[in-house]
Structure 1
């Protein structure tokens, strides 16, 4: 029988080589883990990240940006510049470092160097927010509105949180007609942030009139404006008592609207959102009602429990001075006179202009009618259906299938024609 060959034991030199190799691999692994950890640390812990990886150009660049802020001390700014320069020695593509050096150059009044560095930063990446902010400031200083908006667009496309910073600034600039014009041109391209900005402008507090002018320009350029955003703007204008601006925009979005009469008399229009110029159902304690729109036979349905009352349905009007007829049709209203609802027209500044009592639906073929005069000192009115508080156990319920207020002279013309 042949003897099995014996295994040779590694020599001490081989063991040493293996140990060195294992040490190198371990060190590389440790270094890789440290680098990875440093890179994922947030900006709030950027000093820790830099301590872990001082030779990483990207991390050094981020730290330089964190240090070079508007309220930074001179010492922090000097350190930020040194860090940025060192960062570029390790990584020439560290865009944050380039942005820091560009900021410093512009702050020192070195326009040429600042613009050169800014252009280099733009070539490296479009995702650096500071670079885009500097480009915006530079374009504004040069009265280059289209250039500024181009960088707004880049920033808003590439940074999710850029809107928090840029939308308020952009909205405050809407009072400038030149900026509005260029912004509308930008939005005709339907950028991904466009609709979100339109909603932001609709909620704008400082100058709703400027937002209204912006929305009118959008409509003229056929840029889609969400119905809900338009309603937000109208109600914001009304809250600011800018009634004419509110009506002008409403009339643009509802071309058939006539200030001399109420709108949607048969509740046919299905709306995503309702402004005060539309029919609005008013729900309160003990009151349940709903507008049920339908293309052919819409209606308003209401139920008021015993002991409750108040406005049920309302629509803001801008009727010119003159005589008007309020007419309509009801369904299912059968109560005593002291419990039946009534229509009222009030001046927006306070005071009742006119009232029309609702008869029972079984009377006069379910129809009702009354006359109201609007005085010259009341340009804005509220038309409302009001429920009286009743002691009847069943409460009050019914439906309105048609309601309109219109100039009385139309009735006279119709009689003459007949």
Structure 2
């Protein structure tokens, strides 16, 4: 009776990559992950000797079979591995390692039906073996069964410490497919133990920024916990690629009252962590600046050595071309005119400066300040910054801003 062989149809490069990783994993996870399952740990070079001493021990026979198996072994070793694995199952029908070795050899030789039967048998013996779940993922993908694929991902990630390093990259690459992304979100909504780690992995390492944003947005809508830092990273990746409209779309989806025609959070009340379209505090060894939110309203407090100066606060804008008014209020600013802080608006892409507005001492006009900016055509994104100018006339520049807003001027 002839064996059923896998058809040699053409596959996409991505699918071959996934299959290659999974196949190598089945082979490479070998000895290190199973040696401790024997009654005593056996060094790889001692397996042959142990088998000679205990030829009837099914666990040792299975371990020897496994050591001779894999994608890179020659035909003779693989044939011997098959014979030893069959013997191991006769000696001990619960030797899951023997079933895995046989399944892998059948898969390498092209007999998918036999491999499926053997791996399913191995799974009935133990669901905790990573290679068994990796095979099940591979088999489910080949059959187009997304539900089963994700179920085996879940089992593997819940039962193996090694699984995230192996499977997160593959799963993150697959989220570009909407037929996978939506069921994955449903799985994440059950709050699996690995869910938060996967969300963070997608935010930092997934290859497609749009798909990452879609996944995290869907996760947020499904009440899956998504940290501010993860969400900020996804939006920032879009911004770094100059995908400003897409970045704004995803930001606005979770901030329904946001308006791209004006700045946000005029009273500094947000507690979100460094989201690009919110206020971001400047960093530096000599800059002491904080956003202080409270129920009565927030403020921005700053102190910086006068000789240093630097950017104290900024917020990314996606303003359409036009005229804009900056209005605000300060406290406790008392500096010479030459050392007054300034609000500066620049084009993000080329650094063009669109204007400067001084922040006078808080004793002037009751601390109220205002001015105008003009955003020209071709300036798709802008950065509104509060900057301390270096000066040798004072020892430090300090003060507070408790309100600032950049709004369109009606014509």
Q: TM-score, normalised by structure 2?
A: 0.85
Tell me, which stretches of 5 or more residues in structure 1 are unaligned? 1-34, 413-418
| 2:272 pairs with 1:293 | no
Residue in structure 2 matched with residue 200 of structure 1 by the alignment: 201
Partners of 1:362 and 1:229 in 2: how far apart? 42
* CA drift at 1:37: 10
Shift in CA distance, 103/37, structure 1 to aligned 2, threshold 3 Å: closer
Note the alpha carbon deviations across 1:221-265, whole angstroms, 9 max, x for none.
Answer: 333322222122122222232222222221122222111111111
Note the alpha carbon deviations across 1:241-292, whole angstroms, 9 max, x for none.
Answer: 2222222221122222111111111111223x21221211112243221111
Asked which structure has the greater CA Rg, the reply is 1
Given that residues 228 and 275 in structure 2 are in contact (C-alpha distance below 8 angstroms), is that contact kept between their aligned partners in structure 1?
A: no
Residue in structure 2 matched with residue 163 of structure 1 by the alignment: 164
Partners of 1:363 and 1:194 in 2: how far apart? 54
Given that residues 173 and 206 in structure 2 are in contact (C-alpha distance below 8 angstroms), is that contact kept between their aligned partners in structure 1?
A: no
Structure 1 stretches of 4+ moved >6 Å? none
* CA drift at 1:36: 9.1
Q: TM-score, normalised by structure 1?
A: 0.84
Q: How many residues align?
A: 373
Residue in structure 1 matched with residue 50 of structure 2 by the alignment: 52
Residue in structure 2 matched with residue 172 of structure 1 by the alignment: 173
**Residues 266-415 of structure 1: matches in 2 within 5 Å?**
266-271=267-272, 273-349=273-349, 350-409=351-410
| 2:230 pairs with 1:229 | yes
* CA drift at 1:73: 2.5
Note the alpha carbon deviations across 1:351-391, whole angstroms, 9 max, x for none.
Answer: 01122111111011111011111112111110100111010
Shift in CA distance, 320/303, structure 1 to aligned 2, threshold 3 Å: same
Partners of 1:299 and 1:249 in 2: how far apart? 27
Residue in structure 2 matched with residue 114 of structure 1 by the alignment: 115
Shift in CA distance, 168/291, structure 1 to aligned 2, threshold 3 Å: same
* CA drift at 1:295: 2.5
Partners of 1:392 and 1:222 in 2: how far apart? 54
Partners of 1:175 and 1:154 in 2: how far apart? 22
* CA drift at 1:405: 0.6
Range with greater deviation from structure 2 (383-392 or 186-195): 186-195
Given that residues 307 and 395 in structure 2 are in contact (C-alpha distance below 8 angstroms), is that contact kept between their aligned partners in structure 1?
A: no
Partners of 2:405 and 2:397 in 1: how far apart? 22
* CA drift at 1:83: 2.6
Partners of 1:253 and 1:375 in 2: how far apart? 29
Given that residues 353 and 372 in structure 1 are in contact (C-alpha distance below 8 angstroms), is that contact kept between their aligned partners in structure 2?
A: yes
Residue in structure 2 matched with residue 3 of structure 1 by the alignment: none
Partners of 2:67 and 2:171 in 1: how far apart? 25
Residue in structure 1 matched with residue 153 of structure 2 by the alignment: 152
Given that residues 172 and 206 in structure 2 are in contact (C-alpha distance below 8 angstroms), is that contact kept between their aligned partners in structure 1?
A: no
Partners of 2:198 and 2:163 in 1: how far apart? 12
Partners of 2:132 and 2:150 in 1: how far apart? 14
* CA drift at 1:38: 5.8
Partners of 2:327 and 2:229 in 1: how far apart? 30
| 2:254 pairs with 1:253 | yes
Alignment RMSD: 2.1
Shift in CA distance, 356/78, structure 1 to aligned 2, threshold 3 Å: same
